[in-house]
Amino acid sequence: MDAVLSLCAGFLLAVLWFDLMFDVQALTGDDAPVPEEALASIAAYYRRVTTRARPMSYLVAVVMLVMVGGTLLQLVRDGSPPALRLGALVLCGVPIAAALVRTFPNAVRLGARVDSPAVQSRLARAICRDHLVFFPAIVAFALIQLVAL
Protein backbone atom coordinates (compact mmCIF):
# COMPACT_ATOMS: atom_id res chain seq x y z
CA MET A 1 0.00 0.00 0.00
CA ASP A 2 2.94 2.34 0.68
CA ALA A 3 3.95 2.11 -2.99
CA VAL A 4 0.43 2.94 -4.21
CA LEU A 5 0.20 5.90 -1.86
CA SER A 6 3.65 7.10 -2.91
CA LEU A 7 2.53 6.96 -6.54
CA CYS A 8 -0.63 8.90 -5.68
CA ALA A 9 1.46 11.55 -3.95
CA GLY A 10 3.81 11.76 -6.92
CA PHE A 11 0.89 12.16 -9.30
CA LEU A 12 -0.67 14.93 -7.20
CA LEU A 13 2.69 16.68 -6.88
CA ALA A 14 2.98 16.67 -10.67
CA VAL A 15 -0.53 18.14 -10.98
CA LEU A 16 0.29 20.79 -8.38
CA TRP A 17 3.55 21.63 -10.17
CA PHE A 18 1.73 22.25 -13.44
CA ASP A 19 -0.93 24.30 -11.64
CA LEU A 20 1.74 26.38 -9.94
CA MET A 21 3.44 27.12 -13.27
CA PHE A 22 0.32 29.14 -14.12
CA ASP A 23 -0.58 30.25 -10.58
CA VAL A 24 2.65 32.17 -9.98
CA GLN A 25 1.56 34.74 -12.56
CA ALA A 26 -0.92 35.97 -9.93
CA LEU A 27 1.86 36.84 -7.48
CA THR A 28 2.34 40.47 -8.41
CA GLY A 29 3.55 41.58 -4.98
CA ASP A 30 0.72 44.02 -4.36
CA ASP A 31 -3.06 44.13 -4.13
CA ALA A 32 -3.51 45.54 -7.62
CA PRO A 33 -5.49 43.42 -10.05
CA VAL A 34 -3.48 40.76 -11.84
CA PRO A 35 -2.58 41.98 -15.34
CA GLU A 36 -5.09 40.90 -18.00
CA GLU A 37 -2.53 38.86 -19.93
CA ALA A 38 -1.73 36.81 -16.81
CA LEU A 39 -5.41 36.43 -15.87
CA ALA A 40 -6.22 35.24 -19.38
CA SER A 41 -3.41 32.68 -19.21
CA ILE A 42 -4.40 31.36 -15.78
CA ALA A 43 -8.13 31.30 -16.60
CA ALA A 44 -7.56 29.50 -19.92
CA TYR A 45 -5.50 26.84 -18.14
CA TYR A 46 -8.16 26.26 -15.47
CA ARG A 47 -10.95 26.22 -18.05
CA ARG A 48 -9.09 23.44 -19.89
CA VAL A 49 -8.23 21.32 -16.86
CA THR A 50 -11.48 21.69 -14.90
CA THR A 51 -14.21 21.61 -17.53
CA ARG A 52 -12.88 20.84 -20.99
CA ALA A 53 -10.63 17.90 -20.10
CA ARG A 54 -13.42 15.58 -19.01
CA PRO A 55 -13.34 12.63 -18.51
CA MET A 56 -9.56 12.84 -17.95
CA SER A 57 -10.01 15.50 -15.26
CA TYR A 58 -11.78 12.86 -13.16
CA LEU A 59 -8.48 11.02 -12.79
CA VAL A 60 -7.30 13.60 -10.25
CA ALA A 61 -10.39 12.96 -8.11
CA VAL A 62 -9.88 9.19 -8.36
CA VAL A 63 -6.26 9.53 -7.24
CA MET A 64 -7.36 11.71 -4.32
CA LEU A 65 -9.96 9.13 -3.33
CA VAL A 66 -7.42 6.28 -3.50
CA MET A 67 -4.95 8.36 -1.47
CA VAL A 68 -7.38 9.14 1.36
CA GLY A 69 -8.94 5.66 1.30
CA GLY A 70 -5.56 3.94 1.32
CA THR A 71 -4.33 6.13 4.14
CA LEU A 72 -7.46 5.35 6.17
CA LEU A 73 -6.95 1.67 5.48
CA GLN A 74 -3.34 1.89 6.65
CA LEU A 75 -4.46 3.72 9.79
CA VAL A 76 -6.65 0.81 10.86
CA ARG A 77 -4.67 -2.14 9.45
CA ASP A 78 -1.00 -1.21 9.45
CA GLY A 79 1.33 -2.03 12.31
CA SER A 80 3.30 1.21 12.05
CA PRO A 81 3.01 3.98 14.64
CA PRO A 82 -0.54 5.36 14.64
CA ALA A 83 0.74 8.92 15.07
CA LEU A 84 2.60 8.69 11.76
CA ARG A 85 -0.43 7.29 9.96
CA LEU A 86 -2.68 9.92 11.51
CA GLY A 87 -0.17 12.58 10.46
CA ALA A 88 -0.21 11.17 6.92
CA LEU A 89 -4.00 11.30 6.91
CA VAL A 90 -3.97 14.95 7.96
CA LEU A 91 -1.25 15.80 5.42
CA CYS A 92 -3.29 14.40 2.55
CA GLY A 93 -6.84 14.81 3.88
CA VAL A 94 -6.75 18.53 4.65
CA PRO A 95 -5.40 19.61 1.24
CA ILE A 96 -7.71 17.23 -0.60
CA ALA A 97 -10.78 18.41 1.32
CA ALA A 98 -9.81 22.05 0.78
CA ALA A 99 -9.21 21.39 -2.92
CA LEU A 100 -12.62 19.81 -3.36
CA VAL A 101 -14.51 22.39 -1.31
CA ARG A 102 -12.67 25.61 -2.22
CA THR A 103 -9.85 25.38 -4.76
CA PHE A 104 -11.63 23.42 -7.50
CA PRO A 105 -14.79 25.58 -7.39
CA ASN A 106 -12.59 28.70 -7.49
CA ALA A 107 -10.72 27.31 -10.51
CA VAL A 108 -13.98 26.54 -12.34
CA ARG A 109 -15.24 30.05 -11.59
CA LEU A 110 -11.98 31.65 -12.71
CA GLY A 111 -11.99 29.56 -15.89
CA ALA A 112 -15.48 30.84 -16.72
CA ARG A 113 -14.23 34.47 -16.61
CA VAL A 114 -17.63 35.83 -15.61
CA ASP A 115 -16.39 37.99 -12.74
CA SER A 116 -14.75 41.40 -12.68
CA PRO A 117 -10.96 41.60 -12.99
CA ALA A 118 -10.73 42.32 -9.25
CA VAL A 119 -12.68 39.17 -8.37
CA GLN A 120 -10.75 37.09 -10.90
CA SER A 121 -7.52 38.39 -9.35
CA ARG A 122 -8.74 37.40 -5.90
CA LEU A 123 -9.66 33.93 -7.17
CA ALA A 124 -6.29 33.47 -8.92
CA ARG A 125 -4.39 34.50 -5.79
CA ALA A 126 -6.52 32.24 -3.57
CA ILE A 127 -5.88 29.28 -5.86
CA CYS A 128 -2.15 30.03 -5.87
CA ARG A 129 -2.04 30.30 -2.06
CA ASP A 130 -3.88 27.01 -1.72
CA HIS A 131 -1.46 25.26 -4.06
CA LEU A 132 1.56 26.75 -2.29
CA VAL A 133 0.26 25.24 0.98
CA PHE A 134 -0.81 21.93 -0.57
CA PHE A 135 2.56 21.25 -2.22
CA PRO A 136 4.67 20.90 0.96
CA ALA A 137 1.88 18.94 2.66
CA ILE A 138 1.88 16.37 -0.14
CA VAL A 139 5.70 16.30 -0.14
CA ALA A 140 5.60 15.54 3.59
CA PHE A 141 2.97 12.85 2.98
CA ALA A 142 5.21 11.27 0.33
CA LEU A 143 8.19 11.37 2.68
CA ILE A 144 6.20 9.54 5.34
CA GLN A 145 5.29 6.87 2.78
CA LEU A 146 8.83 6.55 1.44
CA VAL A 147 11.01 7.00 4.51
CA ALA A 148 9.26 6.77 7.84
CA LEU A 149 7.09 3.72 7.31
**Residues 8-38: tens digit of each pLDDT:** 999 999 999 999 999 999 998 777 899 999 9
- What percent of the chain stands above pLDDT 70? 99
Give the DSSP letter string of 109-149. Answer: HHHHT-S-HHHHHHHHHHHHHHHHHHHHHHHHHHHIIIII-
Phi-psi map region of 145: left, alpha, beta (phi>0 left; psi -120 to 50 alpha)? alpha
Tell me if 106 sits within 8 A of 127, measured CB to CB: yes
Say how far apart CA 14 and CA 3 lie, in whole Å.
16
**Of 115 and 53, the one with more pLDDT:** 115
What was the pLDDT predicted at 110? 98
**What's the whole-model pTM score?**
0.92
pLDDT in tens, 103-143: 999 999 999 999 999 999 999 999 999 999 999 999 999 99
Instruction: Work out the burial of residue 76: count CB atoms within 10 Å of its CB; fewer than 13 is exposed, 13-18 middle, 19 or more buried.
Output: exposed
Task: Using the predicted structure, report yes or no on whether residue 149 has a pLDDT greater than 60.
Answer: no
pLDDT in tens, 56-88: 888 999 999 999 999 999 888 877 788 888 999
